[in-house]
Structure 1
């Protein structure tokens, strides 16, 4: 089977991109922007909150090796899907929890997972993850690609991303390359 694409927004893209790139079946995960109303946004413009874009990670994967459902499980484990337009101290619509679906099958799978997580009451608050059809993906600047791996000593990476990555490795060790 040929590769498929999934696009997730979970706040800052550095953590999710790093995690997804470590999974078996993931060909590449790329940080970028989606869901806005301006063409060719850059990091500076999306940080204003006026372009409508979210920080996202677009992942190209082999569905024979990793399923869209498994990718969704990683997505929901690595951020708080109950926070509206924020993740921790990162505040603004660019940090919203969003899943941009590439097919009706992805949309249905995402709805089923949200329903299951809600039924299991894994979160104290309602899940506010936005489900939207895919729009134009704009790749983020080169310095954002592989940011966590290239800057592990940076403060944000040490205090925010490193603990999430430790949790990720513990929860998903069986899926790692």
Structure 2
């Protein structure tokens, strides 16, 4: 599948000239871009699992998480064992609809988010949050993640039931009390929100575009951290949205 993103749609995700030079040099030198250069290592944080978690149960559950650009959030969770699907989209806004063009200027209140359908017999909600805080999002930065700024890139949790809200709030309090990060956690546990599926060209973006400069710089290190920090949860073949 060829991703057709217009230049004006993604000005915030263009690489600087120095990084473009790095990519060109790597290609000329025959280096693989499927793994990030050593100088671009991720910044994963080892944190404890939550004390409070859901019990394993049959069936499926749905989680909605926002942690900056949805390309990387989706890309990480597509590699987590027990995740059945991870779909990029928008959540948390007041507008009656959400599209990339509407959300990208930050005026609708939506955040780029990922809807995760998972098997709680294989992975629990609390463990998904542990992965989320460990390798996906920086929970100490308010309304921005990496190079992306604005409320649409906020770190947020949208519980889909009361149990999830209780687990998320307890876990954040637990991590704050333990001073697990370099500052207080600003990730908000927001009200349940309707999820709007993102456009097709945003789905599976990391898997389909592993050499895209933004992905190499910002998101492949997160997948590498997942593999290194949670090897028992890492699934090499991503579960894709598009066929």
TM-score (norm 1): 0.96
Counterparts of 1:171 and 1:80, CA distance in 2:
16
Gaps of at least 5 residues in structure 2 are 1-57, 236-243
Gaps of at least 5 residues in structure 1 are none
State which of 59, 76, 96 in structure 1 corresponds to 2:116. 59
Partner of 2:83: 26
1:166 maps onto 2:209 in alignment = no
- Give how far 1:103 is off: 1.2
Q: Which runs of 4+ in 1 moved over 2 A?
A: none
State which of 36, 53, 59 in structure 2 corresponds to 1:2. 59
- Give how far 1:40 is off: 2.2
Name the structure where strand makes up a greater proportion of residues. Answer: 1
Q: How many residues align?
A: 177
Partner of 1:151: 209
- Structure index of larger Rg: 2
Map 1:20-169; keep pairs closer than 5 Å: 20-77=77-134, 78-169=136-227
- Give how far 1:120 is off: 2.0
Post-superposition Cα deviations, 1:63-100, rounded to whole Å, max 9, x if no partner, equal 11100001001111121011110002200000001000
TM-score (norm 2): 0.71
Counterparts of 1:142 and 1:30, CA distance in 2:
10
Kept after mapping to 1: 8 A contact 2:76/2:222: no
SS of residue paired to 2:232: helix
